[in-house]
Amino acid sequence: MKAYQDKIEIYSELYHKTNKKYNSISLLRLLSIFLLLFFMFNYIKTDKILYVILAVLSFAGFIFLMKIHSRLSFQKLLADTLLKINRNEIIFLKRENKPFENGVEFIDFHHPYAYDLDIFGEHSLFQNLNRTATFVGKKTLADLLLHTLPQSEILENQEAVNELKDKLEWRQEFQALGIMSQDSKKSYEAINYWASFKNNSLPKVLNALSFILPTLFFGFLAAYFITSKTIILSYLTYIFIANLIVLGRAVKRIQSEIAKADNVDKIIKQYSLLIEKIENENFQSKKLLRLQEQLVFKNAKASQHLKQLSELFSRMDTISNFVTATLFNGTFLFNLHVLKALLKWKENYSSEIDHWVSIIGEIEALNSLANLAYNNSDFVFPEINSEYKIEFKNLSHPLLNPVTRIGNDTNFYPLSFVILTGSNMSGKSTFLRSLGINMVLSGIGSVVCASEAKVHPLPVLVSMRLSDSLSDSESYFFAEIKRLKQIMDELENKPAFVLLDEILRGTNSDDKRNGTIEVVKKIISKKAIGAIATHDIEVCLTTNEYPDILTNQCFEAEIQNNELHFDYKLRNGICKNKSATFLMQKMGVI
C-alpha cells in the first residue's frame, strides 16, 4: 500500500505543476488572439506593413501555443488518471470498496464452474482481478478465466506475469492510457466493422478527375496572380463548382466509409499509444517478446500505422463542416483524396487491426494477473507438473480478508478424492471454493492463495450452487441432475478436477445417500480428482471400499464456554460434533 501512497504524492505534484502550466498557456493563447485582432485593426487603420508582419507572428504564436496546450491537456489528464488508479488500489486494499467492473455480462449459468465459483458479478474473482480499461481487455480477461490453458501457455503466462509484477509504473501508465481511450464495445465493433467492410475501388474517371481538376484550379489561380486578368476568375469559379460536383458523386461512398465511426479517430489514436507503450518497453519473458514482435508489419511499427489511420479519420471529419468542406473540396477535392488514402490503408493493413487490438487485450489481462501478484506478495506461482499431483500448503480463498483468513494444507496424491464432512458454517463450502478458485488461477498462469503449491492443471467441474431456470421451466433438482450429467460427459473425454457440494438436495434422504454414493463411485472410476462435501456419514464409509482412492476429511465445531466455536482447520477423519443440535437447544428450538 505504501507504494501506492508514494505514487499519489508524485502524481499529485505532477498534476498541480502541469495544471499551472496549462492555465498559463491558456492565458497566453487568449493574449495571442487579442494581439492578432489588435494588429489587424491597426493595419486596416494605418495601412502599415509592420502590423501585417506582427499579425502573422501572433497567429504563428497562437498555433504554437495550441500545440503546447494540447500536449499539456494530455499530460494533465494522464496525471489525473494515474492519481485515480492509485487511489482506487488503496480503497480496494483497505476493503472499503471494489471500484472495478464486475463482468456481470459474462455470467453463464451453464458454464462448468463460472457461476458456482463466483467468477463474475459483484464481489467476484473477476472484479477483484480486473484492471482492464478497454472492451477487448475486459473480454480477454473474461475468456482467460473460463478455460484451462495448455501447460506450455501456463508457464509462459507465469513468466510474463512475474516480469510485469515489478513493472508497476509501466502497468499503471498502460492502464491509464486505456482508461483515457474511453473505449467501449460499440467503438470496438465500429472499428472492426470498418475494417471488414470491403468496398470496390473508386472508378478510374473519379481517380483521374481528383488530380486533373485541382491541378487546373491551382494552374488558373497562378495565372490570375501573374496576369491579373479577371476572366480567369470565372474559369476558377467553373472549376470550383466542377470539383464540388465530383465530390457529390463520391459523398455516398465517403459516408459509407465513416458510418458508425463517431470518435473512432480518438480511440484509434489511444490504441496507437497503448501499442507504442508495448513496442517501446524492454521485455525479457518469452510471451511478451513474442507479442512485441507481432507489432511490426510491412517494415513499420503497428503504432505508426494506427496513428496514420487516426489522422485520416480525423481529416475526414471535415466533411461534416459545411464551410470547411466547401472550401477544401471546391479547391482541391480534399475529402476525395482522404477517401483514397483510407481505402489504400484498408487494403494494406485492415487485416491486422483486430490482431493488434487483441494484443492490447492480452497485455491488459496479464497486467491484471500481475497486479494480483503485486498486491499479494505472499501468494505463489504453483509448480506445474504432469503427474496428476495436486498439493497446496496454507491454501485459502484469495478474496478473503488476509488479516482473518485461515489456510489449510491439502493434497490429492496418492489418494485422489476427498469426502468432506462438517457442520454448517464450519468452512466446507469455503474450502471447496478455495480449491476451485485456486485451480482456475493455476490453469491460467496466475499466482495462487497459498504458501506453496504443486498443480497438474485440469479442467474444473463444479456442482455447488445452481439456479432454478424459470425460463426453461426447470427445478433446482433437475438443473442439478443436468449439471451432474455434464460433469460425467466431460469426464468421458479426459480427467478433471471435480468439486461437489451437498448434491441431490431435492430428494429424500435414502435416495440422496444412495445417489451420492453412486455418483462418487462413477466419478472416481473416471479418474477424477477433487472433493465432495456431504452431511451423510454413510457416504463416508465408501472409503472402506476404495482405500487407495478415497479419504475422509472434516471441519469440526467445538463448544467452548457454552458457545459454538469454529477454527476452520481441516482435519483427517469424519466430523463428530453435532452443532445443529447444540444451536437449537441453546436457542430453545428443542
- Average pLDDT, stretch 358-387? 97
Cβ distance 203 to 409 under 8 Å?
no
Query: What percentage of residues in the chain have a pLDDT greater than 90?
Result: 68
Instruction: Out of 102-106, 251-255, 376-380, 551-555, pick the least confident.
Output: 251-255
Grid coordinates belonging to 467: 439456479
Band of residue 473 on the pLDDT scale cut at 50, 70, 90: very low
Grid coordinates belonging to 110: 451453464
Instruction: Identify any residues that bridge with 462 across adjacent strands, giving them in sequence order.
Output: 499
Question: How far, in whole angstroms, is CA 409 from its chain's centroid?
Answer: 33
**Residue 471: its pLDDT value, please?**
43
Helices 334-375 and 151-165 meet at what angle, rounded to 10?
90
The DSSP element (H or E) to which 35 belongs, if any, is helix 2-46
β-pairing verdict for 550-560 and 417-422:
parallel
pLDDT tens-digit map of 220-258: 889 888 888 888 888 899 999 999 999 998 888 888 888
Q: Which of 53, 68, 58 is nearest to 31 (CA)?
A: 58
SS3 108: coil
Cβ distance 573 to 553 under 8 Å?
yes
Would you say residue 319 has pLDDT above 90?
A: no
**Residue 584: its pLDDT value, please?**
59
Would you say residue 470 has pLDDT above 50?
A: no
pLDDT tens-digit map of 425-455: 888 999 999 999 999 999 999 999 999 999 9
**Residue 556: its pLDDT value, please?**
87
Give the whole-angstrom CA distance, residue 41 versus residue 43.
Answer: 5
Q: Which of 198, 192, 196, 243 is nearest to 217 (CA)?
A: 243
C-alpha distances (whole Å) from 326 to each of 240, 243, 323 are: 9, 10, 5
DSSP strands (E only) in 204-299: 296-297
Would you say residue 512 has pLDDT above 50?
A: yes
Would you say residue 92 has pLDDT above 50?
A: yes
Query: What percentage of residues in the chain have a pLDDT greater than 70?
Result: 94
- Average pLDDT, stretch 560-572? 83
pLDDT tens-digit map of 171-206: 999 999 999 998 989 889 889 888 887 777 788 888
Higher pLDDT, 563 or 190: 190
pLDDT tens-digit map of 393-423: 999 999 999 999 999 999 999 999 999 998 8
CB count within 10 Å of CB 267 equals: 24
The DSSP element (H or E) to which 160 belongs, if any, is helix 151-165
- Phi then psi dihedrals of residue 297, to 5 deg: -145, 130
Mean residue pLDDT of the chain comes to 91
Grid coordinates belonging to 264: 473512432
Higher pLDDT, 197 or 107: 107
Band of residue 81 on the pLDDT scale cut at 50, 70, 90: very high
Higher pLDDT, 239 or 566: 239
**Residue 468: its pLDDT value, please?**
43
